[in-house]
Structure 1
Amino acid sequence: MSEIVSRVHSLTAAAAGALPCADEITALTDAAQLALLGELSALRREVDTAISLVASDIERKSARELGPESLARRAGVRSGAELVQRLTGSSLTDARKAVRVGGLLETAASVSPAEETDAPAEPRSIEALAALGGPWSAPIAVTVRNGWLPAEHADRITSGLGVPRDDASTPAYRQAVLRLIADCWDGELTPEDAARNAKATRAVLDREWATQNAQRLYEQRSLKRTVRSDGMVKYDLLVDPATDAQIWTPIRRHLAPRLGGPRFLTDEERARAEELQQDARTNEQLLADTFTAFLTAGITSSGVFGKHTPTVTIAVTTSELKKAITADAARRNSPPHDGPPGQPPGAASGTSTHRPPATPPPEDGIAWLDGTPHPLTGAQLITSLCDGSAAAALLDETGQTLDATKAERTFSTRQRRAMAIRDGGCLIPGCPMPPDATEAHHLNPWNERPQNRKTETKDGICLCRFHHLNLHNQGGHIERRGNTYWLHWPGREPTRLLPKHSLTTQLRTQGTIS
């Protein structure tokens, strides 16, 4: 073991014995705890400095040009940063930061050798930094080495500024570094503040980069939709700052009192603020509801879809609709409670003042959205129909749509929608195609008899393009027996085609259809 390693090993053992335990910390006064945290932070900075110097040297010995002699390659990893990550147990991001900080410390040693331990401490000043030689980043390096600036701040500034595009812009970068360091000293900036200021400075110094970066951010925009196993749907929306301003500004303005914004001045605004404060929904729920409301309003009023504004279709039977209407009336006629709007009874005082009614509430209805096994409550159905965000497709208790027939050979849009709701997608077993990816297949060939020239919803089913063509090409056909459909395939026994919509599952569960 080398002398340095042995010395640090002894230091580690001594530190472990000197560090306080939880009971000792809780017994300290507030002032003593603050002083202890300061001392521990100073100790950590010294250790982090040494780690950074080692990390930087490991990275240099792991250069790709060294090939098989690379230290990282001999250790079985791709880079020096990955080797540092393995040895320190840190994240790869922290390991790379250690390498960068180590590089800064090496730069500091080259432009301004460290003072002897018995020499007076060098005064912290922008003038001293401005007098340094070396590269444009030398002032940052020296502030870290001298303890004038935390390594985290220095790394954020360096990363945010990037590098000068050419020699002509180097003096401007040097002046920007001095200003950013002074801002950190004068304003006690956080690392996040320092990074933001550095990025803004880079945009001013390098307009070409600013343009390219704005375009790069814009091109990364995306929206991902994931359906979880519990039925909840997650939207992962990634937008550039300009788009975010368009989305977030009206939402923040609308929910300002709940998001830490101003309470406003007018009586109306004060009342709105008080209502938001008393709303029982969490901030996350309020944000979700507000975002949905804005999006729905934009769809219905913007005219971007012309006359064909997309409408959500909800499938419901006549009996379930009646239940939903009855339950809604019962809710509207129930005695009012003492809490604010949207808050359950008794929530304002912390005790329940709500007493159960003398008679149980009527059974609520259920309805179904396309492609999901999770039902809507009657209340959700009534709300959706009231605000015009959805259209109801009404079915009887046998699963057939009401008022959806048309005396034409071609299925109408309304009939296609009814078929999609009834079938829930391509009816061929095992086919995952949803309703909007299917075609309407006529069960009764046009040329068999005149009666077939009348198109009715019950005589059509949903098939995807592949299975539709395959059925015609391979000689198969589909037969309707009452309210059930059967696939006849040459050489096989008939197979019943089971609808995939959740409303049909409800009716089969209730026994109203087989």
Structure 2
Amino acid sequence: MELQDATLGDIAERLHELLSSNRKLVTGDELLTSAHDWEAAGRATDAARVWVAAEIENESRRELDSAGLAYRHGFPTAKKLIAATAHVSERTAGSRMALGRQLRSSLSITGLPVPSSFPAVENALHAGQIGVDAAAIICRTLTEVVPRTGWSDAVDEAEWHLVHAATATIGDADTTLRYTVDEIGRLATRIREHLDPDGAEPRDAVKQALRGFSHPRVGTDGMARGKYALPPLQLGVFLAAVDSILSPRTADPEKPLPDGDENDSDQNRCVPPDLRTSEQKLLDAVMILIEMAASSPAASRLNGAAPTVNVHVTLKDLEEGRGVGWIDGSSEPVPLSTVTMLRCDADIVATLFGDDGQVLNQGKTQRLATRKQRRALAARDGGCVIPGCAVPPSRCQAHHVIPWVSIIFAPGRTDIDNLALLCPFHHATIHTSAWTLEMIRGKPHVRPPDWHDPKRSPVPAGQQRTGRPYFR
């Protein structure tokens, strides 16, 4: 069948045949060529989707009343009609309509052409030179300027410049764009501020009015979820704070050591792998900030006391080392390993219950290391004692190597020779990890798991900078 005789259905069927063939045959570097070609086909399809959505909206406008396209097909709005007809979400239909509304050119009732608000973007989109992402960014950013400055030659020039930047290529190649879509967005923002320098103040006021942090909602699985909205200033403060915590990098135990590091090979290879996702690392960083703020003397007091975690646990579970604890405010229990971790270095009140529910003991926080002990630990350990971890002493917790409540360690004894500094991440994992800590001659040592070292030889831990550097 000749292309000029093919219907859209025929072309769609042919595309599906090509996709099936590509999935079986294309590999390696050919995938990059395939990605470029399929994206070119997708841009044509996206342009058509935007165009048809705008036309459906125009033929469903309110003044047509019962003669409108959506009304005649039993839908209250064009968005619902598009969503039902194209089998997409109303959100997708709405975004297509919004972009198409700005790019739609038409003929007036007198037959005269009515150009779109952004003709350069319209031409580039329908020519397949830019995609809907770049088109939407350009239109949305310049639309923020027009209500304040009005349409002008400067806005038209800015539109042309952004379209040119979005379609510019490096050298003679037509496959490598000079600007990514994200870079076009940043460029558009700079142009917006150049066109309307006085608009920054009211735009920021709008963002500040939209800022917020929702109170966590606890689901049936016990996980708390929420949402946040950070304006630029608050985002800058947030990133500066968490980046200072995320900046230390834990060494990769599988990564070969550079030349000249043979002396440190044993210790550097004895590094528990950090398998956290980036989201988990970010959450842990935020929790560190919260803990630091809560422990500050300037922190707000609740009923005259500093922020305190209330943990309820039975004496039987505590003695057997199994079971769960319950934290006030959460409907889901925590394992006993978490209770043990909290009892090391956290302001908690552990309430012990007997078999009949009677309160046996109301634990207090006297087990915490004193300020003098913290200074001594900082001098001895230099930060988190796990090899390869660079978290400084100020962001570490004092871990009882022998549990604070145990047969061989008297409750209430908090001595330097039984404490070691651990960052919150390694403190949370040391209780369940195959890597263990023990004190030898008053200094913490790490015993790796047997799969790492069959003999499980203890390796000196910590980042102490005094003393002889080449001997243990």
State which drifts further: 25-34 or 172-181: 25-34
Matches within 5 A, 1:115-514: 137-162=118-143, 164-165=146-147, 170-186=152-168, 188-206=178-196, 209-220=199-210, 221-256=212-247, 278-301=273-296, 303-306=298-301, 307-318=304-315, 320-321=317-318, 323=319, 363-364=321-322, 366-370=324-328, 372=330, 374-395=332-353, 398-401=356-359
Runs of 5+ consecutive residues of structure 1 not aligned to the other structure: 1-6, 111-132, 261-266, 324-361, 405-514
How many angstroms apart in 2 are the aligned matches of 1:101 and 1:237? 27
Judging changes above 3 Å, is the alpha-carbon distance between structure 1 residues 29 and 320 closer, same or farther for their aligned structure 2 residues? closer
AA in 1 matched with 2:184: A
AA in 2 matched with 1:225: P
How many angstroms apart in 1 are the aligned matches of 2:271 and 2:242? 13
Contact between 2:315 and 2:354, CA under 8 Å: does it hold in 1?
yes
AA in 1 matched with 2:328: D
AA in 2 matched with 1:149: I
Q: Secondary structure of 1:77's match?
A: coil
Q: Secondary structure of 1:278's match?
A: coil
Q: CA deviation at 1:319?
A: 5.2
Which structure dedicates a bigger proportion of its chain to helix? 1
Judging changes above 3 Å, is the alpha-carbon distance between structure 1 residues 232 and 152 closer, same or farther for their aligned structure 2 residues? closer
Judging changes above 3 Å, is the alpha-carbon distance between structure 1 residues 281 and 105 closer, same or farther for their aligned structure 2 residues? closer
> How many corresponding residue pairs?
329
Judging changes above 3 Å, is the alpha-carbon distance between structure 1 residues 365 and 41 closer, same or farther for their aligned structure 2 residues? closer
Contact between 1:52 and 1:98, CA under 8 Å: does it hold in 2?
yes
Judging changes above 3 Å, is the alpha-carbon distance between structure 1 residues 400 and 147 closer, same or farther for their aligned structure 2 residues? closer
Q: CA deviation at 1:298?
A: 0.6
How many angstroms apart in 2 are the aligned matches of 1:369 and 1:47? 53
Q: Secondary structure of 2:7's match?
A: helix
Query: Which residue matches 1:88?
Result: 86
AA in 2 matched with 1:83: L
Q: CA deviation at 1:183?
A: 2.7
Judging changes above 3 Å, is the alpha-carbon distance between structure 1 residues 26 and 246 closer, same or farther for their aligned structure 2 residues? same
Q: Secondary structure of 1:165's match?
A: helix
AA in 2 matched with 1:202: R
Q: CA deviation at 1:209?
A: 4.8
Q: CA deviation at 1:39?
A: 4.3
CA RMSD, 1 decimal: 4.2
Q: CA deviation at 1:158?
A: 0.2
Q: CA deviation at 1:295?
A: 0.5
Contact between 2:309 and 2:349, CA under 8 Å: does it hold in 1?
yes
Equivalent residue in structure 2 for 1:65, among 63, 66, 72 = 63
* Structure of higher CA gyration radius: 1
How many angstroms apart in 1 are the aligned matches of 2:227 and 2:37? 43
How many angstroms apart in 2 are the aligned matches of 1:249 and 1:273? 29
How many percent identity over aligned positions? 23
Equivalent residue in structure 2 for 1:56, among 54, 62, 82 = 54
Judging changes above 3 Å, is the alpha-carbon distance between structure 1 residues 32 and 391 closer, same or farther for their aligned structure 2 residues? closer
Query: TM-score normalized by structure 1?
Result: 0.53
Query: Which residue matches 1:115?
Result: none
Contact between 1:105 and 1:145, CA under 8 Å: does it hold in 2?
no
Judging changes above 3 Å, is the alpha-carbon distance between structure 1 residues 394 and 49 closer, same or farther for their aligned structure 2 residues? closer
Runs of 5+ consecutive residues of structure 2 not aligned to the other structure: 109-113, 169-176, 252-260, 262-266, 363-472
AA in 2 matched with 1:295: I
Q: Deviations over 1:286-336 (max 9, x none)?
A: 333332122111111151315532212223455555x2xxxxxxxxxxxxx
Query: TM-score normalized by structure 2?
Result: 0.57
Judging changes above 3 Å, is the alpha-carbon distance between structure 1 residues 399 and 194 closer, same or farther for their aligned structure 2 residues? same
Q: Secondary structure of 2:214's match?
A: strand
Q: CA deviation at 1:395?
A: 4.5
Q: CA deviation at 1:377?
A: 3.8
Q: CA deviation at 1:390?
A: 0.9
Q: Secondary structure of 1:314's match?
A: strand
AA in 2 matched with 1:223: S
Contact between 1:25 and 1:33, CA under 8 Å: does it hold in 2?
no
Contact between 1:153 and 1:191, CA under 8 Å: does it hold in 2?
yes
AA in 1 matched with 2:178: E
Contact between 1:257 and 1:276, CA under 8 Å: does it hold in 2?
no
How many angstroms apart in 2 are the aligned matches of 1:8 and 1:212? 55
Q: CA deviation at 1:62?
A: 0.9
Q: CA deviation at 1:179?
A: 2.7
Judging changes above 3 Å, is the alpha-carbon distance between structure 1 residues 225 and 103 closer, same or farther for their aligned structure 2 residues? closer
Q: Deviations over 1:346-401 (max 9, x none)?
A: xxxxxxxxxxxxxxxx6446533235564444432233233232122345554344
